Amino acid sequence: MNLRNLSLVVFIPFLINTAAIGQAKSAQNPVIFADVPDISIVRVGDSYYMSSTTMHMSPGVPIMKSNDLVNWKIVNYAYDTLGDVDALNLNNGKNAYGRGSWASCIRFHNGTFYVSTFSSTTGKTYIWSTKDIEKGPWKEISFSPSFHDHTLFFDDDGRVYLIYGNKRLTLVELNADLSGVKTGGINQVVIENSSAPSGPESGLGEGSQLFKYNGKLYLFNITWPRGGMRTVVVYRADKITGPWEGRVVLQDKGVAQGGMVDTPDGRWFAYLFRDYGSVGRIPYIVPLKWENEWPVIGVDGKVPDVLDLPASKGLIPGIVASDEFNRKKGEPALPLVWQWNHNPGNDLWSVTARKGFLRLTTGRIDSLFVQARNTLTQRTIGPECSGSTSIDVSKMREGDFAGLALLQRKFGLVGVKLDNGTRSIVMVSAQSGRPVEVQRVPLTQRSVYFKAECNFRELADVADFFYSLDGKTWEPIGSQLKMEYSMPHFMGYRFGLFNYATKTPGGYVDFDWFRISSEISSKN
């Protein structure tokens, strides 16, 4: 993952045939129309497990499971909190937007699953291990330094390595117990310029993922030729120290960065992702075949829209899900589809304080939504989606603001503000780069309903906000938000439930439910 080229994302000229998605009998690309970037996949028996990047979110490094490479469900996270520091806690004006933990690597070796990642926020490399990837528990190892975009590799002779870096790729040997860099072990540059096969003016050369097949090593990387698109480069070697020989293996639609996986029946696929505007970075599965001991990705060099795999059953409830906040005995407080924006203050939220409700209590004074703790989030999904909620605002305190968000740097909010003892429904837009109150409507009742609708079709990237006093008749409010995948958040838009105080902490609101749909009513 690299920040330097992110400004190019919004200019992608290729569009997705969204009309076919959800209607076909075969799988369609993208297989996940949601922000699931930096994917790493391993097959164990008939099951596939995938890790991904969620950066500043908590819990982090989601683990997803599939039996067909198309229909995925979140089954675990590698960690609850990455670290207890101001940037991850949204304390003292600091944050970890666009940072936290980045590209992970998932591997299975001798009956144990391993998931590794790195963080510039903490300056560490992390490796988690477990025998049961769906239930845990996880064992955590961390050490310095932070090895950028590394790939974890267990060689046949029992030695363990990382290859890391951008363009200049370095091989480093780890201790047998993975506790850190091995003293006196191999530590050498193995590829001076990993972007070289895609041209002398190519940027990037990172996202390393290493595999062994038929006795040879294959290293996948992403490059970005100047004036071109994100490109897949693969290097091949007979031994890990090289020499390495590289070539371009895919250059289509900007689909790049990932690796390869086989099926139980012997077929091969590449797993990659594509920048797609404000919904984020979306996964693609691309056929792969072998020619002259090289992987050949695509169909006649192109990424197909249709795949010879089972059709998608939709991203609800595997990737996102509605929640009535009713919890039976023994159930987790929050389903795995939820993540907090940064580390939460766990004493300030509850699903048991009022049965069937999520309570968010303010614990401090904040002046800006993106610096407020305890915003509970889920991904938005394409090609279109809506998120709605019902909220009881009767226990707010003076200066409080609570409601439904679309979270990114240029966020949009619809909620209730309590000013001078009076409640008002308010829509706030940060499309200009700073929050602006666009419209205010008086509210005289204790409960109110909010909805946000997103249209990602053909990069429309627009959202509309609504409120309702009875949950049946919806009124538009404020202005349409032109969503933008922008720094520093480095993440697709997310629905968020929020509550923060600007004057007096201690007030609370109760969310009755959150409901997500893959349809919208508005004609964006």
What pLDDT shows up at residue 15?
A: 65
Position 18 pLDDT exceeds 70: no
Contacts of 94 (CB under 8 A, 6+ apart): 86, 87
pLDDT band of residue 524 (cuts 50, 70, 90) is very low
Q: 109 near 159, Cβ under 8 Å? A: no
What pLDDT shows up at residue 16?
A: 72
| Residue ranges with strand state E in 302-411 | 306-310, 339-341, 349-350, 358-361, 376-379, 384-392, 401-407
Position 32 pLDDT exceeds 60: yes
What pLDDT shows up at residue 13?
A: 43
What pLDDT shows up at residue 24?
A: 57
Q: Tokens for 341, please give them.
A: 């924006």
pLDDT band of residue 8 (cuts 50, 70, 90) is very low
Per-residue pLDDT of 236-250, as tens digits, reads: 999 999 999 999 999
Residue 182, helix vs strand vs coil: coil
Residue 457, helix vs strand vs coil: helix
Q: 110 near 118, Cβ under 8 Å? A: no
How many Å apart are CA 509 and CA 520, to the nearest integer? 27
pLDDT band of residue 5 (cuts 50, 70, 90) is very low
Per-residue pLDDT of 112-138, as tens digits, reads: 999 999 999 999 999 999 999 999 999
Average pLDDT over residues 369-383: 98
Task: For domain 30-310, say whether CATH 2.115.10.20 is its number.
Answer: yes
**What is the distance of C-alpha 488 from the center of its chain?**
14
pLDDT band of residue 487 (cuts 50, 70, 90) is confident
- CATH level 3 topology of 339-517: Jelly Rolls (2.60.120)
How many Å apart are CA 51 and CA 208, to the nearest integer? 14
Per-residue pLDDT of 304-341, as tens digits, reads: 999 999 999 999 999 999 999 999 999 999 999 999 99
Residue 73, helix vs strand vs coil: strand
DSSP 120: T
Q: What percent of the chain clears pLDDT 90, i.e. is strictly above it?
A: 93
Q: What are the residue ranges spanned by the domains of the chain?
A: 30-310, 339-517
Per-residue pLDDT of 450-480, as tens digits, reads: 999 999 999 999 999 999 999 999 999 999 9
Topology agreement, domain 30-310 and domain 339-517: no
Per-residue pLDDT of 388-429, as tens digits, reads: 999 999 999 999 999 999 999 999 999 999 999 999 999 999
What pLDDT shows up at residue 522?
A: 63
Using H for helix, E for strand and C for coil, what is the string for 47-66?
A: EEEEECCCECEECEEEEEEE
How many Å apart are CA 150 and CA 329, to the nearest integer? 41
Q: What's the whole-number average pLDDT of the chain?
A: 95
What pLDDT shows up at residue 9?
A: 39
**Tokens 């067909």 belong to residue:** 68
Name the pTM for this structure: 0.94
What pLDDT shows up at residue 22?
A: 46
